[in-house]
Structure 1
C-alpha cells in the first residue's frame, strides 16, 4: 500500500483519542466494498457544497454523486458498515476544468464532499465525527451478497432511505493501490481527511443494468432529490476485499459565508456524550425478493 512515510514510522505505536484506543496506523483488513457513481445536475450540486472553496467535479456539463459502502470486517473499533453518500468535488479558489481533475487529483484537490455517512456502531460515530469531522450517525445498515447482486440498504426511523445494488462482476481483476480525499463540514469548518487502500476491482461503465439506486421518502433524502440523479450509473464497482488506512493527519479551514451565518453547525456537543459501543441497531427491513425487484 502506498502509505505516507509517517504512517509507516508509526506502525505498532498506540494512541488514546477521545477515549478510543488505536493501534497505529488506523487500518482495516478483509473489507469488501461496493460503489457506484451517477450523473447529477451541476448547479444543484454546487448549492449543496459549503463555503466558496469546494466546487463540483465537472463530468462534461454534469456532476457526480458517489455512493460507497464499506463492510469493515477487521478494525481497531470492531466490525461495522459505513454508507457514504457524496458529491465528487475539487478544492481551490475557482472551479477546475472539466475531466482534468480526474487525472491531476493532487493539483486540483480532487475528492468527495460527504453529504451523509451513516454507520453501524456508536464508537464509529464517536471517532469518525469527533476526530475527523465526518457526518457520521448511527443507522440500520446491512451488506448482502446475493446470487447476482451485492447490496446495501440504509434505514432510519423504520424507513428505507437508500438501497444500492451492484451487479456482481464476472471477476475482480484490476489491482488498485491508491489514496482518496474526503471533505466534510463540522463545527463550522471544512475538514479534509485522507484514506489509502488496496484491493482488486471488478467494474462496469455506462451500463444501465450495472447498478440500481433506490431513494426513499424520508426527509433526510429531500436534498438528494433536488440533484436530478440519472438512473444509469456512470460506473459501478465491487471489491471482494480491501485493506485500508485512514490517515491520522487531517486539515481544516473555517467555512466562510457572504453574510454572518444564521445558526451554528453541529459541533462537539453531538459527540462528547457518546460511548464506545460496538453494538449494531436492528437490520434494515429488506424485501425477501430484493434481487428481483426493480
Structure 2
C-alpha cells in the first residue's frame, strides 16, 4: 500500500516512502501526470530532495519513512536553447533535436555548436560529464542526434554504430515532381580535393552508399520524400537526390537553385537504436517540420 502525504504549500509536493525502491521507480509510481522524460529532467535539474537533501542520481535507493520533495518550479527541464532541444536523457547519453544553423561539433574559431551548448548545460546542472560526438548532421540539416556522456558509451556507439542503430529516417522537400513512388539509389561516394562529394556507379575507392526512398506527397513543383539510410555516408541524401535529378531544396552545394523555404529542406525525423548500456530498444520520432508540409496544402 502506498500512503502519499501531499503538501502543496511552498514550492514542493511532499511524498512519504512506504517501501524500499529506487528513486526513479518511486517517482514514476507517485508523481501523477508527468512523463518519464520529464521526471528524469527534474532529477537532473536538481528539483528532487530526499529528507531535505538534493538528489540527482537515478538509482538512489529510498527506504520506508523517507520524505521525498518534488519541486513544482523545476518540473521543466532547466535547459533552454533556441538551437537544441533535449528529447531524452539518462546517465549514459542524451538524444537531442538540432535546429538549423548550428554545427554538431566545433569547427574553427568559437563557432556555435551542439557539443558546447550541451557541455554548458551539463556544467550548469552539475553533471560531471561532457558531450561526446558520435555522428553528425550538417549545419543546415535539422533533426535527431545522439551524444554520449562518457568515453565508454561513445566508443560502443562509434564502433558498433551499424549494429546499434536499426532505423534512421529523414524527410526532405526535393525539387520537382518525383516520377516513382519509391526506389533505391546505390553507388560509391567519394570527396574530391574541394571537399565536394561525387558519386560513381563503379567502385572509385570511395564508400558504398545505399539510400531507400518513398514519396509521401507531391505537387508539380516539389515532392515530400522519406529517406531510409542503409549506410550513413557524408552528404549521402544530398548527393543521391542530385543523382535522381531531384535535389534537396535550398541545397547550395548540390542543389539546382530551387529554394522555396529559404533553408536546406532536410530533417532527420526518426532514430531507433539499441541502448549501448541497457540493451533496451530506444525509438524516437519527431514531427516533420510544419514549414515542409505548407508546400503541399
TM-score w.r.t. structure 1 length? 0.22
Q: Highest relative contact order (Cα 8 Å, sep 6+), 1 or 2?
A: 1
Structure with greater helix share of residues: 2
Tell me which structure has the larger Cα radius of gyration. 2
TM-score w.r.t. structure 2 length? 0.22
